[in-house]
Structure 1
Amino acid sequence: MNEKKFLNDTPGPDTFDQKSDNQNSTAKIPDQPFEVRTSWEGCAVQEIKNIADRSYEDLDLNNNTGAPSRIINFFHYAKTIIFLREWYKQEKHDIFLSVGRFTIRLQASNLYCCPVQNDERDDRNLNYATMKTSKQFNKKYSETLWNYMVGNHDKVKSYVQTPQDATAICAILFSEVIRNPDMFFHNILMMVVYKSWNEFCDYHPMVTGGSWKHQGKKVKCPGSEKSKVEKRKDQNILSCAEKILRDEGKRDTLFQVTSTV
């Protein structure tokens, strides 16, 4: 069961702001000297910036070399997200990302992700429900996400077998986070409980909200669908909390948090 403990190296509590002006958005963990945030509404971008500020790595997102960019560590991932939010507003050029042995294009016009060798075919009918991922990747999806976020690319390469596998990583970790910054943290929460690509497709708020429909520059979460996104997010927070508490102490717990006093 040890292979499930892929989040053991989660950054400690000093990585995040532990205090909030809104006490209703945090909860005290019993017998622990810190609080955890239960809502990122309205402050997700600032929280991501706090993490990004701890990155000492430079960003070279295809501006000079043209080579696909690769995430180095968790702080670098946060820094990349902050950059891409501004990049999307300016819509200057497409971004290329290295995922395993594949290169994925993140399109400035609509945030679609597609393998560079299949741009025309995949861009026209991009759809979470019909995306064909490999069997091994599907089972190890959340583990692969985390390895990508922390820069463990050897692991990523071993699990990512097809261009669709690589697309599934970039869509969740980049496209949906740029559209809705709350997903930066919600993705990590989902990794605690949902392990497969199929589960992410079933429960991810942005998939439920149909965020790949009606792609307009001014439409991040289409008006009539925003309530679906928020409702699914709230449902996930509750179900994940119940799952974590129910499985507390079991050897196959996915998420382990360590704290230093």
Structure 2
Amino acid sequence: MTRTAGAPPLTLLYVPADRPDRVAKALASAADAVLVDLEDAVAPSRKGEARENAGRILARPAGPGADVGRPAGAIQVRINHRSTPWHADDVALLGSLPAGIGVRVPKVESAGEVRELAEALPGRALHLLVESALGVERAFELAAASPQVASIGLGEADLRSDLRVSDDAGLTWARSRVVVAARAAGLAPPVMSAYTNVRDLDGLAASCLVGRRLGFSGRTAIHPGQLGTIRAAFLPSAAEVAAAREVLDRVRGAAAEGVGAVALEDGTFLDVAMVERARWVVGLGEG
């Protein structure tokens, strides 16, 4: 079951564009968004074939009853980096696709390249991936580089290599940096990078909970079998939604009675930040 229109995506499924059979399955899957990959998942010798597949499949009209099976806004195409020989053709392909299809931009390090891509693809949503130490240092600058930037996140495999770290502890600061940059730029919370061991669902769940505590909201997946675990980890529990509704009910009741200070049953006094958080939790739970 996918999220309702306008709700933040919790599950985003990568699929290699050189496998049209898998693309079709991904588009019909329960993922909130499908990430059609022209980059890391595709061998250099198959880049042209992958691009042709993506163009043929995604050029179909998107909407109720269409062959694509989902709205264009729930589809992104990850292109190759500007330093590669495939980048220009990838950008040309995006320019020919329905306007709602977003572009996932790897290895971003400068605001200039973001603005350049925005000019080449006017009006198209840009989803930035930070995959180096320099990109992390410039996270807010990147997030705020263009009104077309719709999200910013980490590409953790390349970032681990660049930082020379061997486990998640070495990524904690970079993860928090991107969460703060997204919020400061007025963007939605970032989604986590993919968990590469597709059989380790317990490890995936534990990792998702760590990310959720840091401020992430959702995660990319590389296998459909990961979607349910990701969704369960990032959706608020029934108890959390009930507690959030209590906060909102108490605030509404106090406003109606002309009372300024409001306290919950456990003695916790409410402030504006808690109310905003409660609205977010309820919205997430109902989406």
The answer to whether TM tops 0.5 is no
TM-score, normalisation: structure 1: 0.29
The structure whose residues are more often strand, as a share, is 2
TM-score, normalisation: structure 2: 0.27
Q: Which has the larger radius of gyration?
A: 2
Greater RCO structure (CA 8 Å; 6+ sep): 1
